[in-house]
Amino acid sequence: MKQVFTCIICPNSCEIEVSEEGITGALCRRGVQYVQQELTDPRRNIATTVAVQGGAEPLVSVRLTAPIPKARIMEAAEAIHALQPEAPVKAGTVLAHDLLGLGADVIATKSVEKRQRISAGYESGLASVWQRYESTPHTQALKTRKAWTSSAAQTSIVCPSRRP
């Protein structure tokens, strides 16, 4: 029985073979460790984003401090997406300790400042421009177009906000 793995530790992407004779084809020790891990308990790190409340930018990028079991990736992604940190967020801040008891923390990988309120007048002005855009015949026409009621019904032409 022979199995071939593509090492994902570095860009060398070594093709590593596992057979009765052992593990061959790794350019470094980390490749051998990767295959041993992959055979017993495959793990991955994940990177995603979290919505920041009151941030100058809508999202902060995050990653885990350690890889987690592959089978729990989607569950972990959902748990991360439910986080709601408030601005300001500093890069390196732990946003969740020991996520789902998997032994990895969620850390911010960039800094997001607090949103500066320019003025109440500016914001209400912006809101009224948006309202006018929404009520134009063009926008209305786009919304009521036949194509939208079929298979693509839920995907609007204006990409919807991903998370609140």
Partner 1 sequence: MREVDVLIVGGGPAGLSAAVALYEQGVKDILVVEREAQLGGILKQCIHDGFGLTRFQQALSGPEYAQIFIDRVRELGIPCLTNAAVLEITPDKKVTIVTPEGLLEYRARAILLAMGCRERTRGALAIPGERPAGVFTAGVAQSYINLYNRMPAREVVILGSGDIGLIMARRLTLEGAHVKGVYEILPYPSGLARNIQQCLNDYDIPLHLGHTVIDIHGDARLTGVTVAKVDDQRRPIPGTEEYIPCDTLILSVGLIPENELSRGAGVMLNPRTQGAVVDEYGQTSAPGIFAAGNVLHVHDVVDEVSAEAERQAAAIRKYLEQGALPEAGVTLRAGQGVHHVVPQHITGADEFLLSLRVATPLRNTKITVRDGDRIVAQKTYRRAVPAEMIHFMVKPGTPQTHEWEVSVE
Collect all residues with Cβ–Cβ distance below 8 Å to 34 and sequence separation of at least 6.
Answer: 5, 7, 8, 9, 16, 26
Residue 142 CB, nearest distance to partner 1 (Å)? 7
Instruction: Compute the distance between CA of residue 143 and CA of residue 156 in angstroms, rounded to an integer.
Output: 8
**Shortest Å distance, C-beta 70 to partner 1:** 7
DSSP, res 83: -
Span from 16-24, 58-66, 117-125, 127-135 in contact with partner 1 (CB under 8 A): 58-66
In the complex with partner 1, the residue whose CB is nearer, 13 or 124, is: 13
Q: Which of 44, 16, 128, 99 is nearest to 2 (CA)?
A: 16
- Phi, psi at residue 81, to the nearest 5°? -65, -20
**Of these, 28, 54, 70, 94, which contacts partner 1 (CB under 8 A)?**
70
- Asked if residue 59 binds partner 1 (CB under 8 A), the reply is yes
**16 touching partner 1, by CB under 8 A:** no
Smallest gap from residue 120 Cβ to partner 1 (A): 24
Q: Is 57 in the site for partner 1 (CB under 8 A)?
A: yes
- C-beta atoms surrounding 52 within 10 Å: 23
Does residue 1 belong to the site contacting partner 1 (CB under 8 A)?
no
The candidate with the shortest Cα–Cα distance to 81, out of 58, 56, 109, 49, is 49
3-state class (DSSP) for residue 93: coil
Instruction: Check residue 149 and report its DSSP letter.
Output: G
Work out which of 72, 110, 114, 115 binds partner 1, going by CB under 8 A.
110
Which residues contact partner 1 by CB under 8 A? Answer: 5-11, 13, 15, 44-49, 51, 57-59, 61-63, 70, 73-74, 77, 91, 109-111, 142, 145-148, 150-152, 154-155, 157, 159-163
